[in-house]
Amino acid sequence: MSAQVIDGLAVAAKLRKQIAVDAATFAEQYGRPPGLATILIGDDPASAVYVASKQRACAAAGIEGFSFNLPADATREQAIATIEEANANPAISGIICQLPVPHHLDGVELTGLVDPLKDVDGLTTTSAGLLALGRPGLRPCTPRGVLMLLDEVGVELEGAEAVVIGRSNLFGKPMGQLLLERSATVTICHSRTKDLAATCARADVLIAAVGRARMVEANFVKAGAVVIDVGINRVDGALCGDVDFEAVSEVASAITPVPGGVGPMTIACLLDNTVIAARMAAEQA
Ligand code: NAP
């Protein structure tokens, strides 16, 4: 078997077109565009690249970008004041605090200070609680993007065995909850899981978010399973995922590549969450 390659770039491009339409409709209705604030603390080069690409994506979608850049030695008080300033600005519909923050600051504390109505990363305790309770709210971008890719290829999630490798707050846990919401039977694996390969081999849908290059090999995958690779690893200067793409493509029915799979969906969902947040706030005002 040679698996269908799920083209995340194409799906994200389609979504971004729709977001541009939605952002323009919002701007027409309320006399201002949705706005996204990025808060970058320090000079981590990878974070600077991510923030710049988010700001470019905003501009292309008709979302106004607001950049808050603080030096690496910014104090906790300065960081909190910046988040409070963004919370208070009605032109800002969504806020992301780029992680990781410098070691002397607490990223969980800072992201937790974002107004839940502007929590477009879906990482505050309020957003996590709403997801856990199955109530409407802003959902984390990468798990949302994965769900959209599964829908795009027509995967029937109801009753499906779904296995997620990784239990982070950023991805694994919310992914499991979103799958549960769609009535999949969900198993979440982690570093203490016994016989990982056998557990994964039960999956109709296998999602890997570990950060270990090509750890998911062909024997982890049931014939015909759909495999989603969230991992981003750099090996010999090239990007690769957590899945051995070549070997697993021979067993799976569909698979996401790295790059060009889940990654583009994350930014598209961030933009989408920003428009959703803008609308929620405007309708509540
Ligand atoms: P993380 O917080 O480091 O979590 C990694 C998870 O993998 C943990 O739950 C860990 O288990 C588990 N794990 C580690 N070694 C394992 C092993 N040998 N067997 C089974 N499980 C193992 O990472 P994350 O933030 O969730 O990100 C995971 C990967 O996804 C990274 O490569 C990251 O760059 C990528 N990512 C990509 C996007 C995107 O937009 N494409 C977005 C987010 C993340 P324990 O909990 O037991 O330690």
- Range 30-119 classified under CATH 3.40.50.10860: yes
User: What band does 284 get if pLDDT is binned at 50, 70 and 90?
Assistant: confident
Global model pTM greater than 0.85: yes
284 a catalytic residue? no
Tens-place pLDDT, residues 120-147: 999 999 999 999 999 999 999 999 999 9
Atom of ligand 1 nearest to the CA of 233: 32
Give the span between the Cα atoms of 236 and 252, in whole angstroms.
Answer: 26
**Catalytic residue at 222?**
no
Residue 222 and residue 190 in contact, taking contact as beta carbons nearer than 8 Å: no
3-state SS, residue 198: helix
pLDDT at 271 over 70: yes
Q: What is the mean pLDDT of the segment spanning 20-25?
A: 98
- Among 11, 69, 7, CA closest to 37: 69
Which tokens hold the place of 284?
């509540």
Mean pLDDT of the chain: 97
C-alpha 210 – ligand 1 centre gap (Å): 3
139 to each of 79, 205, 239, 246, 271, how far by Cα in Å?
A: 24, 20, 27, 32, 12
CATH architecture label of 141-263: 3-Layer(aba) Sandwich (3.40)
Q: How confident is the model at residue 1 (pLDDT cuts 50, 70, 90)?
A: low
Domain boundaries, the chain: 30-119, 141-263
> Confidence band (pLDDT; 50, 70, 90) for 281?
very high
Rounded to 10°, the helix 125-133/172-181 angle is 30
Summarised one tens digit per residue, pLDDT across range 197-256 is 999 999 999 999 999 999 999 999 999 999 999 999 999 999 999 999 999 999 999 999
Q: Residues with Cβ within 6 A of ligand 1?
A: 142, 165-168, 170-172, 189-193, 196, 209-212, 230-233, 262-263, 266
| 176, pLDDT greater than 90 | yes
Phi, psi of 95 (to 5 degrees): -130, 130
In DSSP terms, 69 is beta-bridged to 40
| Residue among 22, 115, 121, 272 flagged as catalytic | 121
Question: Whose alpha carbon is nearest atom 39 of ligand 1?
Answer: 263
CB 120 within 8 A of CB 58: no
**Catalytic residue list contains 121:** yes
pLDDT digits (tens, 9 = 90+) for 233-247: 999 999 999 999 999
Query: What does each C-alpha distance from 143 to 90, 134, 230 come to in angstroms?
Result: 28, 15, 9
Q: pLDDT by residue (tens digit) across 65-105?
A: 999 999 999 999 999 999 999 999 999 999 999 999 999 99
CA of 243 to the centre of ligand 1 (A): 13
Note the pLDDT tens digit of each residue in 24-44: 999 999 999 999 999 999 999
Same CATH fold assignment for domains 30-119 and 141-263: yes
| Nearest protein CA to atom 22 of ligand 1, as residue | 191
pLDDT digits (tens, 9 = 90+) for 52-71: 999 999 999 999 999 999 99
